């Protein structure tokens, strides 16, 4: 399947706002650059309708965009030319399988991202991994809501979680999670699911990870509260700092209490109990 690439000329700060605003549209992946944001989406049935939705979102910000079709088979080449290993202090390192093994980190994750979000490069993923460093995953049951590449679920497995459900609504993310779980040797404890929250039958999770976007998280708070065991921990990100009060007020309304938060760039990550 071919993809459409939407290119938005924008400063880095504005790019982060655009990613948050465009998050509810069917884009698989966003790639941020020094001068442009690129967003990729499988070829839709109605290109004009999608572009009209994009226009409605970006026009108030004074942002234009261009659209071009790219062959699907070029995607791996694009990633291999741009994807560089990253570290979260000495806690964790993330690399692709074509990179040399990493030294000086406690945990190493191999991610071949393809068309799925989550390599550790984005501030939101990076912050959730930082929050995970302070938690004890040994023997725990974990739910990764909106798993993307599976990076957070895989890290949970490497930290000792014994059962992990990871769900994503996008087929490329589901397939990529399965592949990355196998590469990292955690397929025995990581169960990937394709769909929304309704396909997840599990409950009583010790820890839930939700790195998605504001709209999805707000809608999911009631269900996430039901699925989290008493005394459990919810880590959320994909939220702009400007939405802090709105999100925390909604979290409190559904029985969650904020314990810790991190900020990076324009983004926020929060640990809730």
- When comparing pLDDT for 26 and 163, which is higher? 163
Rg of the chain in Å (alpha carbons): 18
**According to the model, what pLDDT value does residue 30 have?**
83
| Mean pLDDT computed over 17-44 | 87
* Per-chain mean pLDDT for the chain: 91
| Mean pLDDT computed over 36-43 | 90
Residue from 124, 133, 197 nearest 166 by CA: 197
| Mean pLDDT computed over 39-57 | 93
pLDDT band at residue 115 under the 50/70/90 scheme: low
**According to the model, what pLDDT value does residue 78 have?**
64
Is there a binding annotation on residue 243? no
Q: Are 167 and 146 in contact (CB under 8 A)?
A: yes
88: three-class secondary structure by DSSP: strand
172: three-class secondary structure by DSSP: helix
**According to the model, what pLDDT value does residue 232 have?**
98
**According to the model, what pLDDT value does residue 83 have?**
72
Token reading at 31: 């790639």
Token reading at 63: 């942002």
Q: Are 102 and 87 in contact (CB under 8 A)?
A: yes
**Taking the model in full, what pTM does it have?**
0.81
Q: At what angle do helices 151-158 and 123-132 cross, to 10 degrees?
A: 20
Distance CA 95, CA 154 (A): 13
| Mean pLDDT computed over 4-9 | 95
Q: Is residue 1 predicted with pLDDT exceeding 80?
A: no
How many percent of the chain have pLDDT more than 90? 71
| Mean pLDDT computed over 223-231 | 97
Q: Is residue 80 predicted with pLDDT exceeding 80?
A: no
| Mean pLDDT computed over 252-259 | 97
Q: What Cα–Cα distance (Å) separates residue 185 from each residue in 110, 118, 158, 178, 246? A: 10, 18, 9, 11, 39
Which domains, ranges and CATH numbers included, belong to the chain?
3-78 (3.30.70.2170), 119-272 (3.40.50.150)
Is there a binding annotation on residue 23? no
**According to the model, what pLDDT value does residue 120 have?**
61
Instruction: Write down the H helix ranges in the chain.
Output: 12-22, 47-58, 75-82, 123-132, 151-158, 171-183, 214-227, 244-253
Is there a binding annotation on residue 184? no
Is there a binding annotation on residue 125? yes
| Mean pLDDT computed over 94-106 | 92
> pLDDT tens across 174-195, in order?
999 999 999 999 999 999 999 9
């Amino acid at each position: 399947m071919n993809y459409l690439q939407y290119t938005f000329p924008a400063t880095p700060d504005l790019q982060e706002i655009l990613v948050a605003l465009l998050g509810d549209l069917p884009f698989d992946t966003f790639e941020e650059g020094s001068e442009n944001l690129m967003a990729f989406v499988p070829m839709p049935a109605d290109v004009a309708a999608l572009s009209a939705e994009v226009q409605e979102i970006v026009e108030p910000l004074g942002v234009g965009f261009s659209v071009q079709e790219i062959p699907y088979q070029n995607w791996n080449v694009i990633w291999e030319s741009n994807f560089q290993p990253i570290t979260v202090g000495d806690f964790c390192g993330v690399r692709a399988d074509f990179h040399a093994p990493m030294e000086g980190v406690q945990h190493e994750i191999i991610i071949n991202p393809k068309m799925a979000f989550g390599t550790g490069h984005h501030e939101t993923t990076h912050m959730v991994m930082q929050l995970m460093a302070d938690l004890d995953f040994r023997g725990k049951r974990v739910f990764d809501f909106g798993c993307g590449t599976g990076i957070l679920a895989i890290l949970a497995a490497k930290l000792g979680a014994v059962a992990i459900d990871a769900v994503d609504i996008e087929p490329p993310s589901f397939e990529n999670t399965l592949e990355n779980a196998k590469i990292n040797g955690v397929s025995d404890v990581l169960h990937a699911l394709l769909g929304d929250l309704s396909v997840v039958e599990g409950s009583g999770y010790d820890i839930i990870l939700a790195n998605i976007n504001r709209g999805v998280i707000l809608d999911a708070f009631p269900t996430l509260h039901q699925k989290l065991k008493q005394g459990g921990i919810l880590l959320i990100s994909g939220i702009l700092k400007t939405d802090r009060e709105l999100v925390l007020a909604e979290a409190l309304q559904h029985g969650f209490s904020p314990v810790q938060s991190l900020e990076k760039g324009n983004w926020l990550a929060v640990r809730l109990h």
